[in-house]
Chains A and B, each alone.
Chain A
């Protein structure tokens, strides 16, 4: 099993985040398992925009899948410049990596700058740490985002037996099963607040997890940590999703979209 084989089993592939300059990423140790998830402090390791466009992107095209390029940076102009160089992809703006200092500009300003620089579909990937994520979703929508990716990892810390941080960089981004309720809450809140397609991401391990995110308002579901543990999980999750859908007489998974919102619309922040 190789990474390209895993990618080919998906309906679309999201790249690691690309920054203007190459980045080695954070010092080892860069991953740590916890009771219900994993912490990573990869730190946006990537070959930089120039090499990505010249060497990596052409190879990814060979996968024959719709590509989503995750764009990162340290200023709105960084993001916008990368967006202006991309063609024939969907752009996901990583506005919320917990492993680098927050971008100095607000998410809405970055989305607006990117909107001016490209006609490609723009998805804003938001942090679940926001006090009121729906407000950020509305700001991204007003700034011209075409969709939302919900959610990025949460910042977390793991200590070893010596009571020192396990990760070389101290804290990291927390993903895996523990993130599912957090993602569900974010999708649920934002689906009520905006009229944008939402990719639900966070702790999906089973077809039922995927169906729950759709019920909370997502129109697509992303896999992350489960692909590391079980690279053959896409086929399994697809099968389970079909079975969960059929057992509820829904016809199609997207028939469940927003079901969770219907009885409690008034109570959502």
Chain B
């Protein structure tokens, strides 16, 4: 795998978020939950983004403009070029029998691709999505077969009684709650990263008293680990 230069194909807004579509041109998708380092034009460091959607022609990333780098990425025009490095890290284990996708806020980013890969002849796997507001929830259309809640309701209120294989991505409090409620859940975590390939040690997060480099040991970790 190498760092590749690709063109922006286009972008669409979903509430506050931007779906940035990039010409694929031979790039591998990797496994859902893996991520790419996207060059943020004019910035010193690239930004880690999990793959949101893949077609034959494009890779798409859902981006929340929370800082100068993500704002730059959201304003890229079709034809603009940027470097991508990926796919990186450990994604979701897709060998699950009763998948239930759980996402919160911008954490829904890897779920459309995950849903795509888990879809069977019976349809898409069920998903529970939580958002801060109706505006944020506009992104829910990206995930098929989803039940949506808006704060003050939380996705944990919607968890079904019968057992499921939970695959989740969202804010830390949501992931912490899922770890307690559904210990075997596969959880995709987030941390600022400088490199994405294990060199900078910047993305270490404490899981059960141990510091792990999310870029190479994650970003998907088993909840009970």
Interface set of A (CB-CB < 8 Å, partner B): 1-3, 6, 16, 24-25, 27-34, 36-38, 40, 42, 45, 176-177, 225, 227-232
- A40:B85 contact, CB within 8 angstroms: no
Question: Contact string, B199-217, partner A, CB cutoff 8 A, digits 1/0?
Answer: 1111111100001000000
- CA of A228 to CA of B192, assembled, Å: 13
Are A6 and B45 in contact, with the CB atoms below 8 A?
Answer: no
Asked whether B95 is an interface residue with its Cβ less than 8 Å from the other chain, the reply is no
User: Known contacts A176-B44, A225-B44; is A231 also within 8 Å of B204 by CB?
Assistant: no
Kindly identify which residue among B197, B205, B206 contacts A1, using a CB–CB cutoff of 8 Å. B197
Q: Main secondary structure on chain B at its contact with chain A?
A: loop
Please name the 6 residue pairs, one residue from A and one from B, whose CB atoms are nearest each other, closest first: A31-B202, A228-B195, A228-B194, A3-B199, A42-B201, A3-B198
Q: Are A24 and B211 in contact (CB under 8 A)?
A: yes
* B residues at A contact (CB < 8 Å): 1-3, 39, 43-46, 69, 83, 85, 191-195, 197-206, 211
Say whether B197 contacts A230, CB under 8 Å: no
Task: Give the CA-CA distance A25 to B195 in the complex, in Å.
Answer: 18
A-B contact count (CB 8 A): 87
Residues of A within 8 A of B83 (CB): 230
> Complex Cα distance A36/B46, Å?
13
Given contacts A1-B85, A176-B44, contact A25 B201 (CB under 8 A): yes
> Is the CB–CB distance between A40 and B200 below 8 Å?
yes
Q: What's the minimum C-beta distance from B4 to chain A, rounded to whole angstroms?
A: 10
Q: Which residues of the partner chain A approach B199 to less than 8 Å between Cβ atoms?
A: 3, 6, 227-228, 231
Question: How distant is A131 from chain B, measured CB to nearest CB, in Å?
Answer: 28
**C-alpha gap A29/B172 in the complex (Å):** 14
**CB proximity of A140 to chain B, nearest CB, Å:** 27
Given A1-B3, A228-B200, A231-B3, A28:B191 Cβ within 8 A: yes
**CB neighbours of B1 from chain A (8 A):** 1
Which residues from chain A contact B201 at a C-beta distance below 8 Å? 16, 25, 30, 42, 45
